[in-house]
């Protein structure tokens, strides 16, 4: 017969039994019916957060633009236009840009535009190309593959962004790079702290990959940062980025003004010619040119001011230093050369871009939609003649530039001075310059 436990052992058993009963009671309470408990908001918030990360492309960082404005998205200080937003506050996922509202204090709001670095389809294709380049499955760690490339390994060792590091990238912006231009990129790159130096000592590995990825896919956000509107450049303000989206001040695309009253059409055409003039000739001695144009590339602010809305097709040639990269076809192509273009990008030689190029494109494709059939005779005939001469591709540069000057002279008196043109009103009442 077993000996009976002593008093201490019995007390210990009773204590353990009491603890077991308490644990069972707590467990049964935690699994009680949902009706008896207040609903927890955590799963819904987490689901919304995860969906937002995926929508913005944060799950693909550091193959992204950056994260400088992400906090404003998740603090709901940037809100998509409610007419397009889902019940989670996210709009349809396949549009190139979105209207939104931005606030610094959650009280006053202003319109902004949220733009994709590339279309959803292009992102999917480029991500697949990255995996294929490493003989990986359809899905892979994009960042890991990009980090192992020879180009990025050179970037990791570099103290300064030099022309050889960007050679072979498909952007027109980098077709003819000078050291002065690349120093400007590093010095004004807004996605890092302590910007201001031409050296990349303050760049982390992550910062370098984000900059390289952005330059490879679409240089538009970089152009907004290094040639800011606050300094007189015809570009909207860069507010920041999150994942594969950037946020800038809001504009309405030019095509929305094709039916504008004649005085407004004359004003927009006059501004557009002025923008092209500033791109050809400016204090910094950079020559900007478009490889192609469409009406969505130009936008108009609420005050009537016309700006470049999409700069991805904008090339830059440094007239002061010239291009400092050798012309070697195909030698420097790698996965970064093919993310969006599929290695098929054909860009002109740096010394083969004529001054008239942007003017010819605009006079052929955009200005006729604004100006033809809008004015009484004989003004309309004068406009049509100048337009035809301005868009003549076979004419030498001086003839095309002269036709553009004549067209501006015709348009100037057709512009009216009233509050609709707030960017130059009331100055236009006192000064013919405006």
Lowest pLDDT segment from 97-106, 221-230, 331-340: 331-340
**Mean pLDDT across the chain, nearest whole number?**
85
Q: How far apart are CA 146 and CA 133, in angstroms?
A: 10
pLDDT-derived band at 48, boundaries 50, 70, 90:
low
135 has pLDDT over 90: no
| pLDDT band (50, 70, 90) for residue 8 | very low
Contact call for residues 344 and 333 (beta carbons, < 8 A): no
Tell me which residue has tokens 């896919």.
217
What percentage of the chain exceeds 90 in pLDDT? Answer: 69
Say which residue, 20 or 244, is predicted with more confidence. 244
- Give the pLDDT of residue 431: 86
Q: What are the pLDDT digits (tens) for 358-395?
A: 999 999 999 999 999 999 999 999 999 999 999 999 99
More confident residue, 84 or 208: 208
If you average pLDDT over residues 188-213, what whole number do you get? Answer: 94
Average pLDDT over residues 73-86: 73
State yes or no: pLDDT of 37 exceeds 50: no
Mean of pLDDT values over 211-237? 97
Kindly tell me if the per-residue pLDDT of 10 is higher than 60.
Answer: no
pLDDT at 258 over 90: yes
Note the pLDDT of residue 52. Answer: 78
Q: How many percent of the chain have pLDDT more than 70?
A: 82
Phi-psi group of 97: left, alpha or beta (phi > 0 → left; psi -120 to 50 → alpha; rest → beta): beta
Give the lowest-confidence range in 76-90, 290-304, 419-433.
76-90
- Residue with the bigger pLDDT between 40 and 316: it is 316
Indicate the pLDDT class of residue 189, thresholds 50, 70 and 90: very high
Q: Over 70: is that where the pLDDT of 7 sits?
A: no
**Which carries the bigger pLDDT value, residue 322 or residue 415?**
415
- What is the spatial distance between Cα 83 and Cα 87, in angstroms, rounded to a whole number? 11
Mean pLDDT of 118-130: 92
User: Over 50: is that where the pLDDT of 235 sits?
Assistant: yes
For residues 189-207, give the mean pLDDT.
92
What pLDDT sits at residue 322? 81
Which pLDDT belongs to residue 325? 66
Q: Model confidence at 323, in pLDDT bands (50, 70, 90)?
A: confident
> What pLDDT does residue 49 have?
53
pLDDT over threshold 90, residue 162: yes
Whether residue 266 has pLDDT greater than 80: yes
Q: What is the pLDDT of residue 326?
A: 54
| Better-predicted residue by pLDDT, 92 or 114 | 114
- Per the model's pLDDT, the better-predicted residue between 320 and 51 turns out to be 320
Q: What is the per-residue pLDDT for 412?
A: 96
**More confident of the two residues 344 and 17:** 344
The yes-or-no verdict on residue 23 having pLDDT over 70 is no
Among 86-95, 115-124, 239-248, the range with the most confident prediction by mean pLDDT is: 239-248
Q: Which residue has the higher pLDDT, 344 or 211?
A: 211
């Amino acid at each position: 017969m077993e000996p009976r436990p002593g008093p201490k052992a019995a007390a210990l058993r009773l204590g353990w039994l009491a603890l077991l009963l308490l644990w069972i009671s707590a467990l049964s309470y935690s699994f009680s019916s949902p009706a008896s408990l207040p609903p927890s908001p955590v799963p819904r918030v987490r689901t919304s957060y995860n969906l937002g990360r995926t929508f913005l492309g944060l799950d693909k960082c550091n193959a992204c633009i950056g994260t400088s404005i992400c906090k404003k998205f998740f603090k709901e200080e940037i809100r998509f236009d409610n007419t397009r937003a889902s019940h989670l506050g996210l709009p349809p996922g396949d549009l190139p840009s979105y209207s939104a509202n931005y606030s610094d204090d959650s009280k006053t709001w202003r319109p902004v535009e949220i733009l994709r670095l590339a279309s959803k389809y292009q992102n999917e294709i480029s991500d697949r190309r990255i995996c294929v380049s490493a003989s990986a499955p359809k899905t892979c760690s994009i960042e890991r593959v990009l980090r192992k490339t020879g180009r990025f390994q050179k970037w990791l060792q570099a103290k300064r962004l030099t022309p050889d590091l960007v050679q072979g990238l498909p952007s027109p912006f980098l077709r003819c790079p000078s050291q002065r231009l690349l120093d400007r990129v590093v010095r004004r790159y807004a996605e890092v702290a302590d910007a201001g130096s031409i050296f990349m000592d303050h760049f982390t590995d992550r910062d370098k990959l984000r900059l390289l990825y952005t330059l490879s896919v679409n240089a538009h956000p970089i152009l907004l940062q290094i040639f800011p509107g606050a300094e007189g450049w015809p570009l909207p303000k860069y507010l920041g980025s999150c994942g594969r989206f950037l946020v800038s001040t809001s504009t309405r695309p030019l095509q929305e003004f094709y039916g504008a009253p004649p005085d407004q059409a004359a004003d927009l055409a006059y501004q557009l010619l002025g923008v092209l003039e500033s791109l050809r000739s400016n204090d910094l001695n950079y020559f900007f040119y478009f490889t192609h144009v469409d009406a969505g590339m130009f936008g108009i602010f609420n005050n009537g001011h016309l700006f470049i809305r999409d700069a991805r097709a904008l090339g830059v040639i440094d007239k002061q230093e010239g291009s400092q990269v050798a012309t070697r076809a195909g030698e420097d192509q790698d996965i970064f050369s093919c993310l969006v273009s599929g290695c098929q990008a054909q860009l002109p030689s740096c010394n083969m871009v004529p001054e008239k190029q942007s003017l010819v494109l605009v006079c052929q494709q955009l200005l006729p939609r604004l100006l033809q059939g809008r004015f009484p005779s004989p003004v309309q005939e004068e406009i049509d003649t100048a337009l035809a001469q301005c868009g003549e591709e076979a004419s030498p540069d001086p003839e095309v530039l002269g036709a553009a000057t004549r067209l501006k002279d015709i348009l100037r008196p057709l512009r009216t001075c009233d509050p609709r043109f707030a960017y130059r009103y009331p100055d236009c009442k006192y000064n013919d310059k405006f």
